[in-house]
Structure 1
Amino acid sequence: MIARRALALCTVLTASLALAGPAAATGRPLRITGARADTALTRSWQEFGRRPGAGWAAADGTYSTRLPSGPVVWLFNDTFFGPVRADDSLPGSAAFTHNSAVLSTVDGRHPLATIAPGPAGHPRSLVGPTPQSPDRPNDHWYWNGDGTVDGGKLRVIEFEQEPTDGPPPFNFAWTRTKLATLDPFTFRVEKLTEVPSAGGVQWGTELMRDGAWTFVYGVEGDGPTKYLHLARAPLGRLDGPWQFRTATGWTGDPAGSVRLLGDVGSSFGVTPIGGEYLLTTFGSGLGNTIHAYHAASPAGPFTGGETVYTAPEAGPGRYTYNVAAHPEISRPGHLVVSYNTNSERLADLYADIDHNRPRFVDLQLSR
């Protein structure tokens, strides 16, 4: 289901559309003056998931990056495939993969085509093995971390997982991390490279390009509190070696990495905006409030933590998680962020797959 025609169309459209980032620095601190649900973007993904022949029906993950040819590619994790019934339910025989991608328009707001290897009706995971069904996992699989174009290639962080004896839906554990290198036109995986995994830090929850560096943010901890860590690599060298942030500078030893902030989520966004860095995240648990932190450098210190949005979907049997930022689709003076929704019971997703589609929020910014 590689969408060559969609990719060609987006390449043509690139020449007629230029997206500006938020306003440049003015010497005044950045403020978030409002937040509202981006219902149009959320609806765009709902409609795509219901479209006959689209493939993608719903997923979590929701990372985005701009390709060299212009369009935006969206990277997802556990993915359900259609066709979706009129009431948004899925048949029990619906296809399922552990990761996928979707190609969208140049402005990133209109998904066009699902990217998943394999013939129509029998998709495979973009990276790694494909499960038989959501409740019959492989002995290992990969969930996407963030992705970026680096050295002309699409590089995607991959978190290797193994099943555990814990109660569903949390019966899995991260084992190590790899970096997938994909051709940005065919989306074929060219290689998987080992990246640091020691010390309990999952590197690559967020990749941020700034200046001459790609900054690699990681998360430490699988308990009630998770901590932010930071590494960096020169542009074009994301496959290593990396440098790791210490209390006083940088080191080549991942054991020297220090905690920069506590109570972050499993996924978050760090966005450079007018000389500042805005971190958007849920807390470490399965809460429903998105918080914002501010810093003058990629390494912090991050201050603030004000609540900027409360997700209305969270409730009995349903939870929200995994914030991601999308500066490549944001208008000047705004930042689009997303979060995932899910249900504690797999049957609830089959009954209403919209419970697993991403939601989007538009943050209004001012100085």
Structure 2
Amino acid sequence: MIARRTLALCAALTVSLGLAGPAAATGRPLRIVGAQADTALTQRWQDFGRRPGVGWAAADGTYSTRLPSGLVAWLFNDTFFGPVRADDSLPESAPFTHNSAVLSTSDAKHLLTTIAPGPPGHPQSLVGPTPQSPGAPNDHWYWNGDGIVDGGKLRVIEFEQAPTDGPPPFNFAWTRTKLATLDPFTFRLEKLAEVPSAGGVQWGTELMRDGAWTYIYGVEGDGFTKYLHLARAPLGRLDGPWQFRTATGWTGDPAASARLLGNVGSSFGVTPVGGEYLLTTFDSGLTSTIHAYHAPSPAGPFTGGETVYTAPEAGNGRYTYNVAAHPEISRPGHLVISYNTNSEKLADLYANIDNNRPRFVDLQLSR
């Protein structure tokens, strides 16, 4: 657990750098004029995972949000802990949790510390049970969705999972969703509450603050067909009640939520930039191409779908998934996004844990 005084000291080192996109809408549509692998940021996470004593070695998830301290919290899911060997391999006895966090400076140029409760060498999940090993799951566990500071608290969406009889590595299923409330300085869990699950929508793959509202994007569907849904809550009231977007307006009934876009990934980013809303996502299923959609409002309509980047890591048993957007660390006229990498064989991760570290892409924006 990191102390408040330590966080305050780290915050003094930060420099505010948010996303300042192109000038407000001028009638010309926003364009993505370039997309390049952000090798410096990717390397920073690789170096962090190899650094002795930091704990975090690799993970998926990779959501980010700015904290009241000015630091950025990076929210991860299945997390491997070091120490990492010189060849990037891990012993099979390495600790493992279902969720964790890492703190960085506001521009992510300095990755500071791993947040995972428990004594040294025995990390615990931030929320929910801790497994004995990746191959020995609990009867349920939680994977982080997006997180945001709301009402002075760090609110993190938690997707409850349970094991299934399917073949590894996809032998799990979502069962319900909860909202975790954590102290934004100590990361102490204060509350874990139910959120709506009617209609089979996993709410909270993206949380976006815009105007007087926090918008809550969700995903409906299993396997290779997934649809985007939208809910909203007044600022400071993410703990409910929510309103749900229908084909014609808003309702308090989650089962009436409408499908706003099809063929989205299990995670995606929606970012207000230049008077528009930019959605970045993989297709449904496990694919290697990232697409961008544009909308005049948080509820759409989302149009475009142009391919902006192809992940080179996919293939030969490895796969890519889960796009997230990071406006907190993006330069003016740019948007940093990330995606996760993984392997169909757990042994591949132990042999080279870099197979499970996030990758970053820098999108250049113009009109």
State whether TM-score is above 0.5. Answer: yes
Take 2:60 and 2:235, find their aligned partners in 1: how far apart are those partners? 28
Take 1:281 and 1:139, find their aligned partners in 2: how far apart are those partners? 30
CA contact under 8 A between 2:70 and 2:106: conserved in structure 1?
yes
Mapping of residues 235-314 of structure 1, within 5 Å = 235-314=235-314
- Report what 2:330 is aligned to: 330
Relative to 1, partners in 2 of residues 1:136 and 1:89: Cα closer, same or farther, differing over 3 Å? same
CA contact under 8 A between 1:333 and 1:364: conserved in structure 2?
yes
How far 1:224 moved relative to its partner? 1.6
Q: Counterpart amino acid of 1:352? A: N
Take 1:144 and 1:17, find their aligned partners in 2: how far apart are those partners? 25
- Report what 1:118 is aligned to: 118
1:89 aligned to 2:67?
no
Take 2:5 and 2:319, find their aligned partners in 1: how far apart are those partners? 37
What do the CA deviations read for 1:167-208 (whole angstroms, capped 9, x no partner)?
Answer: 000000000000000000000000001100121100000000
How far 1:106 moved relative to its partner? 1.9
What do the CA deviations read for 1:272-297 (whole angstroms, capped 9, x no partner)?
Answer: 00210000000001000000000000
- Report what 1:24 is aligned to: 23
Take 1:247 and 1:284, find their aligned partners in 2: how far apart are those partners? 22
CA contact under 8 A between 1:6 and 1:113: conserved in structure 2?
no
CA contact under 8 A between 1:3 and 1:114: conserved in structure 2?
no
- Report what 1:196 is aligned to: 196
CA contact under 8 A between 2:3 and 2:185: conserved in structure 1?
no
Structure 2 counterpart SS, 1:362: strand
Taking structure 2 as the reference length, what is the TM-score of the superposition? 0.98
Structure 2 counterpart SS, 1:13: coil
- Report what 2:104 is aligned to: 104
- Report what 1:186 is aligned to: 186
- Report what 2:217 is aligned to: 217
Relative to 1, partners in 2 of residues 1:74 and 1:200: Cα closer, same or farther, differing over 3 Å? same
How far 1:8 moved relative to its partner? 2.1
Taking structure 1 as the reference length, what is the TM-score of the superposition? 0.98
CA contact under 8 A between 2:106 and 2:328: conserved in structure 1?
no
Structure 1 counterpart SS, 2:214: strand
CA contact under 8 A between 1:180 and 1:192: conserved in structure 2?
yes
Take 2:137 and 2:303, find their aligned partners in 1: how far apart are those partners? 40
Take 1:3 and 1:344, find their aligned partners in 2: how far apart are those partners? 38
How far 1:220 moved relative to its partner? 0.2
How far 1:111 moved relative to its partner? 1.3
Q: Counterpart amino acid of 2:108? A: G
CA contact under 8 A between 1:6 and 1:112: conserved in structure 2?
no
Structure 1 counterpart SS, 2:73: strand
How far 1:237 moved relative to its partner? 0.2
What do the CA deviations read for 1:295-337 (whole angstroms, capped 9, x no partner)?
Answer: 0000000000000000000011000000000001000000000
1:8 aligned to 2:8?
yes
How far 1:36 moved relative to its partner? 0.2
CA contact under 8 A between 2:19 and 2:327: conserved in structure 1?
no
Take 1:5 and 1:232, find their aligned partners in 2: how far apart are those partners? 34
Relative to 1, partners in 2 of residues 1:89 and 1:65: Cα closer, same or farther, differing over 3 Å? same
Structure 2 counterpart SS, 1:73: strand
**How many equivalent residue pairs?**
366
CA contact under 8 A between 1:139 and 1:162: conserved in structure 2?
yes
**Unmatched runs of 5 consecutive residues or more in structure 1:** none
CA contact under 8 A between 2:17 and 2:328: conserved in structure 1?
no
